[in-house]
Structure 1
C-alpha cells in the first residue's frame, strides 16, 4: 500500500516581524488592463527575492515586507481561490464621525530599523511594478520614543504574544485555500494636537482607558461613555478576539501634520470591522469613541496577505 502524500508546510509572510524604527505604508492601485494584471502578478512573485537582495546589505536591520492584495483585483491578479471574508472596505457612518473608504489594490508594508533600507526596497519594488500601478498613498512612519503615538500614549500594548499571535492573525482550517494568510486593514488618521494637548492628562486618560505615564489599564465603564481601550476590545461567548497592530506615528511639524497610521492584521476580518462599528457608531449606538474627536481618518482599505508560499508561487505561473 502506498503511503499517504505529505502536505507541503505553509509558510506565512512575516506579519509578526519585530517592531522597527522605520516603516513605509505604500498603497497602490492597478491599471484595468490584462497587461497590468500580468505585470503585477509577476512583480508580486518577485517580492521575496528583491527583499533578500536589499536585506543582505545589513542582515541585522530587520528588513521585511508584507504584501497584500485588495478585493477588486484579487481574482485577476492572483488567480488564487478567493479568501472567504475578503471584500472592499465598507464605510462606517456614525452620527458624528465616518470611517471612510479609499481606493487600494496592493499594500506594501515595509519595515526596518534603517530608513535607507526601507527606501531602497520601496524604490526597487516600484520599479518592478512599473507603469502597471499608481501610488494612492505613501506614508513614512517612525518609532516615537518608547513605542508611543503622537498623542503621548504607548501603542500596541494589547498585541497577542507567543502562540496567541498566529492564532489571532493566521487563517486556519476554516478556509483551507487561504490558510497561512491574514486580513489587513489600514487607516491613516490625523490628529489636531493643539486641541488634544489642551485636555488635562486625566481627561486624556479617560478617553484612552490607560494611564499616560506608565500605561496601566483603567477600570472599564459599566455603562455610558466607554474608553477607546474598551470599545476596541471584542469579546463574545467564544472569548476575546485579538488582532495584531503595528501602528506607527507619521508627520511633519513644519506643515502641521501629525498622525497615526493604523494597520491591523487579523485571522477574521469581522473582528476589525466590529471594532470600527463600536468606535464610530458607539456601544451603545450614539456614544462614539471620544478618541475620534481628535483622530480623523483620511483613508480606509482592506487587503488579504496570502502566505509566502502562495505569493512565491505567482512567479512560477
Structure 2
C-alpha cells in the first residue's frame, strides 16, 4: 500500500502495538440491558485513560496499557446507524472434526504490563467502576512463558509484522473508522498428554516450525498442510496479509488447565476469518489443521477497537456525541513509528 495512505491514519490509535509483555489480562464482559447500564458504560469508557495513567504512574517502567474493544451489539447501542463496515458477531465455524464456537461479548479489555500487580490493580479499578452494569463472561490471566513460547513448547507470534508493516496489518487505513482495528479473541485449551505422546518430528510437522530453534519448515507438496501454512493468508499477487497477534499462555496445573489465549488485531477482519476457516475446515476441505486435535476452542468473540477520539465520542450521550470529536490524548496509547 502507498505509504502516503498511512500518513492519513489518525495517530490517536489505541495501543494495539504495545510490546509483548510479561503479564496480561483478557476481560470479556456482557453489558446489561437498560439505559442506566449504558450510561454507566459510557462513563467507564471516558475514564479508562485516567485509570491507566493513575495505575501506571506507580511504575513507569511497568509499561501498563489497555486496549478497549466493543462488540457489534453494544456498538449499535452506543452509536446507532454508524457501525464499522466489517463489525459483526463472531461467526461460528463447523469443520469436519472440530468447531469454533461463537460466545457473547460486548466489551473487551486487553490489559498488558511488565508486572502482574499492575494488570491486577487496573482490572480491579475497571470492574469497580463498571459495577453491575455488566457481567464478566470470561477473565483470563496470561503470562509470558520462557522465550515467548506457548505451553506446547513452540515460539508463538514469529510472523508478527514489525516497523512500517505493523499499521498496514493492524489498522484500518481510510474511511470514517480509519485508525481503528478489528480484534478476534479465542480461548484454547490443550491436551498436554496427547501432545507429549507425539514425537518431536511429528509436532514440528503439525506446527510447520522446528521446536528448538524456531526455523520455518517447507511443507510444499505435503499431503497435510501445517498450522503455519493454513494460518497464512495471501492477496491476489501472492503477498502475505499479516495480522498482529499477542497470544499468551494461561493455565492452572492443579486444575489440569493448560491453554493459549488467541488475540488477533487486523485492519481487515476477513483476513482473520479466512485464516480460521482454513484451520477448521481445511485446505482442501477436510484437511484441517491437525493442531486442533490437541487444542480445543472454548470461546470466540469479535470486537472493534476505536481510536481514542472515537472512544471519547462514545463516552458522551448521543446528542453530545454527534459533535465531531476533538483531537486528544487519553493516555491509552498511540501507534509508534
Q: TM-score range by the shorter chain?
A: over 0.9
Cα offset for 1:240? 1.2
User: How far did 1:314 drift?
Assistant: 3.3
Structure 2 CA distance for aligned equivalents of residues 276 and 255 of structure 1: 28
Query: Matches of 1:78 and 1:299 in 2, distance apart?
Result: 26
Structure 1: give runs of 5+ residues left out of the alignment: 1-6
Structure 2 CA distance, aligned partners of 1:51 and 1:260? 25
- Please give the per-residue CA displacement for 1:63-111, whole angstroms capped at 9, x wherever unaligned: 0000000011112124582100000000010010000001110000000
Q: How many residues matched?
A: 309
Alignment of 1:1-317 (within 5 A): 9-78=10-79, 81-173=82-174, 176-238=175-237, 239-317=239-317
TM superposition shift of 1:177: 1.5
Deviation at 1:10, TM superposition (A): 4.2
Contact 1:48 1:312 in 2 (8 A): no
CA contact (8 A) 1:21 1:113 kept: yes
* Segments of 4+ moved more than 4 angstroms: 7-10
* Offset from partner CA, 1:33-66 (integer Å, 9 cap, x none): 1111121122112111111111000001110000
RMSD: 1.4
Give me the whole-angstrom Cα distance separating, in 1, the residues matched to 2:44 and 2:35.
Answer: 14
Q: Structure 2: how far apart are the matches of 1:102 and 1:258?
A: 20
The alignment partner of 2:74 has SS state of: helix
- CA drift of 1:294 comes to 0.4
User: Unaligned regions of 5+ residues in structure 2, if any?
Assistant: 1-7, 318-337
2:9 touches 2:179 (CA, 8 Å); kept in 1? no
Q: Is this contact kept in 1: 2:42–2:316, CA < 8 A?
A: no
Q: Deviations over 1:269-307 (max 9, x none)?
A: 000000011000001101100000000000000000001
1:309 Cα deviation from its structure 2 partner: 1.8
Classify 1:9/1:261 alpha carbon distance in 2 versus 1 (closer, same or farther; 3 Å): closer
Q: Report the Cα distance in structure 2 between the residues aligned to 1:314 and 1:241, rounded to whole angstroms.
A: 30
Normalized against structure 2, the TM-score is what?
0.89
Query: Distance in 1 between the 2:266 and 2:194 partners?
Result: 32
Q: TM-score, normalised by structure 1?
A: 0.95
Deviations 1:123-163 (A, max 9, x none): 11111111110000000000000000000000000000001
Q: Distance in 2 between matches of 1:242 and 1:256?
A: 33
User: CA deviation digits over 1:155-187, x for unaligned, max 9?
Assistant: 0000000010001011111xx211111000000
* CA contact 2:107–2:303 (8 Å) conserved in 1: yes
User: Contact (CA 8 Å) 2:200, 2:211: kept in 1 or not?
Assistant: yes
The answer to whether the 8 Å contact 2:9/2:178 transfers is no
Separation (CA, whole Å) in 1 of partners of 2:80 and 2:246: 29
Q: Secondary structure at the match of 1:26?
A: strand
